[in-house]
Chains A and B, each alone.
Chain A
């Protein structure tokens, strides 16, 4: 095979001491920023971007891709240990990962997340090499109309498996969509609900909102209990997953790889969609769906794998089309452009050392990360030995730092506190806040693609069922809708106990 030969050349590039060191530094830094709530891959890459100006293009992308990957690995840590999502992609992991930690399975959850990430990451790079160009073409056929249908489908899929009663889930979705409308309307430049604040023209800060809704509310809830159930530090021999947990995780990891890879092509919101969809799928096909929300292993393994499979897939539009589909790959693009390397259809022939060097370094990065993260599991878990009264205040300070570091905005800090209170009250009365966050992220893009599609069709609603992509998504939507309706009518719907 021709590309195998190229790949070998790529490894020759990536395995030089310098590039290996850059990859390692990138992974290390990425893990650090990923672990810190608030700082995601975007901030981590942006902070080190100026440094890459001094490197050659191959070294620059290798280091930045390492940060990207590392941040995706690290993001799950605080989700599992403290129920604080490191970034959008690890919101879902908060649900069952934290529940596992409460049951003393934090070590197992972190190990499964790390190994799942490795498998998902590696499978997606193989996919990128094998069918990358093909998928890029498929991605192009997804226009605004199909994008709208796709996001609507994702929202419905997720609402179908939420742990709270359907009406409450719907209310949370609508609330999330409503919060998402704050800011400058991109189509007409109309400032909506900004009350004259320039800070708000970019919308409410997702990081502040998610850390508040999940992390701050969790701490407040714990303080209310006379004897709070906080994560337990496991004994050393409990650090590794049991055979039963591995049996449960393995198929979820494989499914997560596929879902993550496919959804990696959804522009803009790929990580959050793929993790939510993976969670929904795992819960739907599980024989014990009632365990979801109470520490189901598959609920951690699936989304965490999907998350990292998405990272590999999100490189496809960048490398094949030269078009970044998510903000993190936009930073990779600018790092390449600074060096005069233009990714796109001609990248492979014009700069093979960059292309194949990057691919090879993605493989290496995944291996480095799993080796780096497994020993860290023990260190992170030992944090749980700190008593709640000491840990909680420190965690709150780190939340403040994370939110502040994004935009140095006092408004964001206020949003963090307000979201904490709102999340606390909602969760007291069994409203699930995860659908709210998903709707918040998707809302803006959903509305835009809806209106864009109508602009393109000049007001013709048939546009939503035209084109191959839209039709496929519509078919899925109808199928899910019918099944859901049938289930509700026949009273098959399983409603698990609501999350506390």
Chain B
């Protein structure tokens, strides 16, 4: 909020009015850029947004100002981004949930045609963990246990219809297994209930469970990414159980309003990809347990569409789809 205005202060008003009309893509950007983040300050998405904003400034030679617009699981801010002036001065730094998950349960006003995907920076996997006493010590044994006891176990997740739950259900559906989902307010709450023994499995992002895995209070066995994660070497990727195609992860990227001029989009894509590829940014991602994987506009767009379709099918199969409400 604060920064929308500061931006107006920073740029001399007259110059901005004159230039906004005439500036061509070669000159872009001539004034500070607002990066809308549909998450509250302090979360993972916000942290990456602020770091990428800082990292990209030398490449764009302009200030990039972060503007948090939290609400509705990211859908409020995403709506603001898609409705912004397509002049390249309002961009959105998002995580995948408001784009590929929320549209299945909320009546959002945007579709993949309402925004242009610019690039994405990388991902973080979700993980399934069990108590140390659970009779499984590999991913395959875990799968066998789940298959042998349909409906007996419970797993905590970040909320029904959320990306984490759909990621897990996508795998369970392929396995033909039934595990009862118990939704919590976030991975921290899930971890607390898992450690207290109230649910069988922890399902959520890595950071909250890593210290407990290190202290021997949790056995983390299966990731929702195709590959393995160096932070949890004992956990198998989906490739290891032959389900690599069902990968669903948490990823972050940059979008712009749909009608932003292609030349500006190309310039942004290049600048942000360079910024995200720096060693310093990789380190920043490592610290949050995320993996750097810089993708361009094309790959990011394709990822959004395929993920939207796959998660839509999962949402339908577990009966949370509520389109047109």
Q: Name A residues whose Cβ lies closer than 8 Å to a Cβ of B.
A: 45-47, 49-50, 53, 139-144, 184, 186-191, 196, 198-199, 201-202, 267-268, 317, 321-325, 330-331, 333-335, 337-340, 342-347, 405, 407-409, 448, 452, 455-456, 458
Contacts and interface: CB of A to CB of B under 8 A. Distances in A.
Contacts of A409: 71
A347 to B, nearest CB: 8
Contacts of A333: 188
A55 to B, nearest CB: 14
Given A186-B183, A187-B160, A340-B287, 15 more contacts: A49-B42, A184-B73, A188-B161, A189-B105, A198-B71, A267-B189, A322-B211, A325-B188, A333-B188, A334-B46, A344-B210, A344-B215, A405-B1, A455-B154, A458-B180
Contact of B106 (A140, A184, A267, A448): A184
B182 interface: yes
A324 B188 contact: yes
Interface string B50-70: 110000000000000010111
B50 A53 contact: yes
Contacts of B142: none
A46 B280 CA distance: 24
A207 B1 CA distance: 17
B109 to A, nearest CB: 8
A407 B71 contact: yes
Interface in B200-258: 207-208, 210-212, 214-215, 217
A456 B208 contact: no
Given A198-B72, A323-B192, A330-B188, A144 B198 contact: yes
B199 interface: yes
Contacts of B325: 191
A407 B70 contact: yes
Contacts of B44: 334
Given A186-B159, A407-B71, A140 B195 contact: yes
B76 A191 contact: no
Given A189-B106, A405-B1, A342 B196 contact: no
B71 A202 contact: yes
A261 to B, nearest CB: 19
Contacts of A408: 1, 69
A330 B40 CA distance: 11
A189 B195 CA distance: 25
Contacts of A335: 42
Contact of B76 (A50, A198, A452, A456): A198
A337 B207 contact: yes
B71 A452 contact: no
Contact of A344 (B106, B154, B161, B211): B211
B117 interface: no
Contact of A342 (B51, B106, B211): B211
